[in-house]
Amino acid sequence: MRNSTSLPLSCFLTMLLICGFLSTATAQVGIGTTSPNSDALLDVDASVNVGGLLLPRVSLANTSSFAPLSAHVQGMSVYNIATAGDVRPGQYYNDGTKWIRMEGSDPVDSVTLTSNTTISSSFPTFANVSGMSALTFTARKTSVLVLLTASGFGSTGSMSLVALRVRNVTDGVTVGGTVNKIQNYDDVTGTITTWSASFSKLMTGLTIGTTYTLRVQGAVTGILGTYSAVIQPATTPDAEHLTLSVIQ
């Protein structure tokens, strides 16, 4: 006759608890909630216990180095606390080959002319626009968008044009430029004509972490009268300006 052995009730309940834990271990986990989102492996609810998610804080060397990790891991997220190479404090994620900084918006570096000035350098000789500061930025990407806008007026009784260009002083090359007619001539009284110009171009081939300096340069030429392009942001700020921007 075969003997039968019955399990104590306490053991039976323990086994049920273990089985229940194992079945939920592969489902959603909720912190601060008993009803985690069905599409989330981890759902953190801070509506009662207010707080945030504190990411692992590490010191990255540069975006191309996986250190201090042992390898690049796609999807890995960390908070970098170091300023080194081409990285600075902030949140980064890894795409499997490099670290990428998470930006809330595209960083913009910009300079604007605040004093009145006159561009009078004879084309094709360009000169720095007097009173316009240089724009210095540190490359976070290998390419940036350069924007230049300007408006002003020309001298009475002349027929001329103004050329503006953005010069990469660091590398000694021109990023690009624009040319605009600044005067219509009336053979009876002459006229003062306003002008405006705009320019945009992708500046490529940058080295991440390198600091670059850009300058706005101008030149004028024509066929009659005084060749000059006047910009007076101090006198008429609602109508005249010169602004250089870099968007990364």
DSSP of the chain, one letter per residue? -----PPPHHHHHHHHHHHHHHHHHTS-EEES-SS--TT-SEEE--SSS-----PPEE----TT--TTSSS--TT-EEEE---BTTB-SEEEEE-SSSEEE--SS--EEEEE--S-EEE-PBTT--EEPTTPPPEEEE-SSS-EEEEEEEEEEE-TT-EEEEEEEEEETTTTEEEEEEEEE-----TTT----EEEEEEEEEE--PPTT-EEEEEEEEEEEEEES---EEE-TTT-TTT-EEEEEEE-
Same domain membership, residue 195 and residue 235? yes
Provide the pLDDT confidence category of residue 129 given band limits of 50, 70 and 90: very high
Over residues 44-101, the pLDDT tens digits come to: 998 888 988 899 999 999 999 999 999 999 999 999 999 888 888 899 999 999 999 8
- Note whether 57 and 94 are same-domain residues: yes
Same structural domain, 91 and 114: no
Of 102, 117, 138, which residue is a domain's last?
102
Residue 179 and residue 197: Cα distance in Å, rounded?
A: 7
Same domain for 237 and 173:
yes
Report residue 201 as tokens: 């171009």
| One domain, residues 75 and 112 | no
Q: What is the largest CA-CA distance in the chain?
A: 131
148 and 68 together in one domain: no
Does 230 have pLDDT greater than 80? yes
Domain for residue 219, yes or no? yes
192: in domain: yes
Give the domain-ending residue among 38, 73, 102.
102
In this structure, is residue 230 part of a structural domain? Answer: yes
For the ranges 12-21, 113-122, 142-151, 230-239, the lowest mean pLDDT is seen at 12-21
**Alpha carbon of 223 to those of 163, 183, 228: distances in Å?**
15, 11, 12
The region of weakest confidence among 1-15, 196-210, 221-235 is: 1-15
Residues 177 and 57 occupy one common structural domain: no
- Using alpha carbons, select from 83, 200, 178, 225 the residue that is nearest to residue 140: 83
Q: Strand 144-154 to strand 194-203: parallel, antiparallel, or no bridges (unpaired)?
A: antiparallel
- Inside any domain, residue 37: no
Are residues 151 and 211 located together in one domain of the fold? yes
Give the residue, 202 or 193, on which the prediction is more confident. 202
Q: How many Cβ atoms sit within 10 Å of the Cβ of residue 177?
A: 19
Find out whether 182 and 137 touch, Cβ atoms under 8 Å.
no
User: Residues 159, 185: contact at Cβ < 8 Å?
Assistant: yes
Per-residue pLDDT tens digits for 1-44: 444 444 454 554 455 445 444 444 556 888 888 888 988 888 89
Which pLDDT value is given to residue 147? 97
**Does 169 share its domain with 131?**
yes
Q: What is the Cα 83 distance to its own chain's centre?
A: 18
Tell which wins on pLDDT, 95 or 159: 95
The closest alpha carbon to 63, from 87, 28, 41, belongs to 87
Model confidence at 179: pLDDT above 90: yes
154, 238: one domain = yes
Does residue 4 fall inside a structural domain? no
- The reply to whether 220 and 113 lie within a common domain is yes
- Kindly report which listed range (23-27, 120-124, 179-183, 214-218) carries the lowest average pLDDT score: 23-27
* 43 located within any domain: no
Q: What is the pLDDT of residue 27?
A: 66
What band does 106 get if pLDDT is binned at 50, 70 and 90?
Answer: low
Same domain, 98 and 132: no
Distance separating alpha carbons of residues 197 and 93, to the nearest angstrom:
40
**What tokens appear for 80 in the block?**
């970098």
- The tally of domains found in the chain comes to 2
Q: Domain ends where: 74, 102, 130?
A: 102
> Is pLDDT of 224 > 90?
no
Is 201 within a domain?
yes
Above 80 in pLDDT, residue 192?
A: no
Asked, for residue 2, whether it belongs to a domain, the answer is no
CATH number at 119 reads: 2.60.120.760
**Range(s) of the domain holding residue 175:** 108-247
pTM of the model: 0.65
Cα torsion angle, 89, 71, 208, 245, sign: negative
% the chain with pLDDT above 70: 84
